[in-house]
Chain A
Amino acid sequence: MPTVRFTRHLKRFFPDLEEVEVQATNVCEVIDALEGRFEGMRGYVLDDAGAVRKHVNIFINNDMIKDRQGLSDAVTSDDEVFIMQALSGG
């Protein structure tokens, strides 16, 4: 199963956050699975329309996902998904 890792900044809102494995074949399913583990996570990562928030980056291994609206980028069981804070302000 793909592994999901998080920016430490999300621990401020989800104190129990830790690296997890999820059952998912694309980014959309990753987010669905995370919402089940960490209730409310979807609203931190995605906006009201379901797109990745402007200042959030999602990587699959070292590559940023391409589809920030539809979340269709595929993930495989060996992949590592990183949910990171884009750098904003300043």
Chain B
Amino acid sequence: MGEHVLVGTRKGLFALQQNGSGWESELLGFLGAPVTIAKYDARHKTIWACLDHGHWGCKLSRSRDFGKTWEEVDAPKYDEGLEIKPGVPATTRLLWSMAFAGDDQPNTMYIGTEPGGLFRSDDGGDSWQLVESLWNDPDRPDKWFGGGRDHPAIHSIIIDPDDSNHIFISISCAGTYETADGGKSWEVRNNGLRADFLPDPASSVGQDPHLVVASPQNLDIMWQQNHCGVYQSSDAGKNWTDVSNDVVHFGFAVAVSPSDPNRAWVIPGISDECRTAIDGALYVARTDDMGKTWTDYRAGLPQENCYDIAYRHPLDVSEKTLVFGTTTGNIFASNDDGENWATVGNSFPPVYSVEFATW
């Protein structure tokens, strides 16, 4: 019992736990199978694992005994006849994000998928329905496209803790959308972003937020690591400000402090043509002033011959403790707000997701 870290990897699901000054790792299941994201539903004390079996498709499993046993449940499916674009049938290609509603909707949860469909369950994950309003967005067939995947995919889902009908989702590539009515209607939230890969970089749709997070203290304060920079919003995504500089620009992951909306972390990499640590040295950058300044913290992280990159979901924070994993199978942890780091392990499979969970 206590605080754990769920680690979804290319080859299974692990749980980490601090043990004195070190960390212990336990395989929770799915050895050999890609766990694209693992989440913990504290409402129902349930661990969820989204799987991407190369041969057998996307599967969804849950454990109600903290990983001792697993139950496969129906994964989201697209109805026959739906198309990604004309002539391309819509099928579930990846389960990439998951979020749980608040106490006002105790059995509701969401999964974001490639090719861009958001699925909702109102029975604790037993059955899933496509959120048709988003799927039917007129921009989707022509203005959404793949980024990180062959087709558009939802990687970020933020549910307002005070109102479960108020939701943000983010798509690579389309951008961020907000609903205030439980998904009946959606507004684009991309103002201020820049997409260097589009003919019109300021296009309202087609942006590539790699990950979007909001402060649990104040949902108006949002952060995004974008393909083309780091952005911050103080008005719930209505307007975004580029807060990139020489220290932070390209990367995938971003985390915001649970207690201080001004504080956020990113894990920079060389821009998109390389996608490795910068100059062969890995660092985590932190801002304490809403992105005005960034400090690179390197102590305890490899500073030579390092080509790691952290993807979208393998960084999480709990109070002063941070954990992140990389594509090279390295996992690092810090107990001082990301200033000093210790190695949890160097030989994990490529890490896809990291999330703190207390059970």
Chain A residues near B138 (CB-CB < 8 A): none
Q: How distant is B199 from chain A, measured CB to nearest CB, in Å?
A: 5
Instruction: Known A59-B199, A62-B199; judge A90-B145 contact (CB<8 A).
Output: no
Partner of A90, one of B197, B198, B312: B312
Instruction: Known A64-B142, A87-B173, A90-B311; judge A82-B199 contact (CB<8 A).
Output: yes
The majority secondary structure among interface residues of chain B is loop
Within 8 A of A (CB), among B183-224: 197-200, 203, 208, 210
> Count the A residues whose beta carbon is within 8 Å of the partner chain — how many?
21
A63 to B145, CA, bound (A): 12
A84 to B203, CA, bound (A): 15
A61 contacts B199, C-beta separation under 8 Å: yes
Partner of A62, one of B173, B203, B210, B275: B203
Indicate if B80 sits at the interface (CB-CB under 8 A). Answer: no
Q: How distant is A25 from chain B, measured CB to nearest CB, in Å?
A: 20
B145 contacts A86, C-beta separation under 8 Å: yes
Hey, what's the 0/1 contact readout for A60-89 against B, CB within 8 Å counting as 1? 011110000000000000001010111111
Binding site for A on B (CB under 8 A): 142, 145-150, 172-173, 197-200, 203, 208, 210, 227, 252, 272-273, 275, 309, 311-312
Q: A62-B198, A90-B148, A90-B312 are in contact. List 10 more A-B contacts (CB 8 A).
A: A7-B197, A9-B273, A57-B197, A86-B145, A86-B146, A86-B197, A87-B227, A88-B147, A88-B148, A88-B149
CB-CB nearest 9 A-B residue pairs: A87-B147, A90-B148, A82-B199, A59-B199, A9-B273, A84-B197, A62-B199, A90-B311, A90-B252
